[in-house]
Amino acid sequence: MQRIVFLDRSTLIANLRRPDFEHEWVEHETTAPSEVIERLKEATIAITNKVPLRADSLSELPGLKFIAVAATGIDIVDLDYCRRRNLPVSNVRNYARNSVPEHVFMLILALRRNLLSYCEDLERGLWQQASGFCLLTHTIRDLDASTLGIIGYGTLGRAVEKLALAFGMRVLISEHKEARARREGRTSFEDVLRTSDIITLHCPLSDETRGLIGREEFRMMRRDAILINTARGGLVDEISLVEALRSGSIAGAGFDVLTKEPPREGNLLLNLNLPNFILTPHIAWASREAMQTLADQLIENLEAFASGKPRNLVT
């Protein structure tokens, strides 16, 4: 009989049916790194969303047969160790194909139309003092005929492209940074930075993508450009982002992620009180519909493993 332990059940607000095979189910609302070994010592299947599973812990868990990540990002698991040990790891995919793109465009529209600045003006009573029927204190830009650069062209990147085309935008798909050849239909990374009105990130966090956007990249971008990051915080150097926003090197940014989450020790972006910067608490993925799709797929991954036909494997 399989013993399934869900380390951080509180991260998934959805109905979670039990797998259709003989098992024992144990769930914890949250799990600290120091509690991982004790809680998984009798487990054959571990479920984690954001609780790290590193080699030092996994080496103490010889009975563990399968790791199911309740998310798409798998940087919380030591995949190299899992490969060496032939420990399969699965993730969930494509569940936020509507939720994330909609969040991206919420941020884009708010920034392009200076929503925060206008809300601030209303709170200050400026409309009441206006000489005309409307208050025009900040620039408003349309999306139609503007250029969107997409860095990371998987399911989410493609879904963002679909919405962009509906808005009448021109879309550029970025080639990998420092790529030696450019694939058909792709634009060089540097040209995407130089020519896009809006740049949105949809790539995973890895050794190759960590710090993808830093001081030099901000210098390449247009002064009226906007950067959107709903992927991973580590893709962007946060100090360089703050410098770019405060100096006017770029026009604005909308972020849903930070380098360390939750930011218990603080983060410079938390106190960045600028009308051209929007920060949301890693919720782009979290529509009710998306979370239920995630929950259903998570259980399907467990059942596939138990039947001897594992799916959505990353190792």
Q: Which residues are known to be catalytic?
A: 232, 261, 282
Tokens 């208050």 found at: 135
What is d(CA 298, CA 263) in angstroms, rounded to the nearest whole number?
A: 27
Short-list 261, 206, 204, 207, CA closest to 238? 261
Strand partners, 4: 25, 45
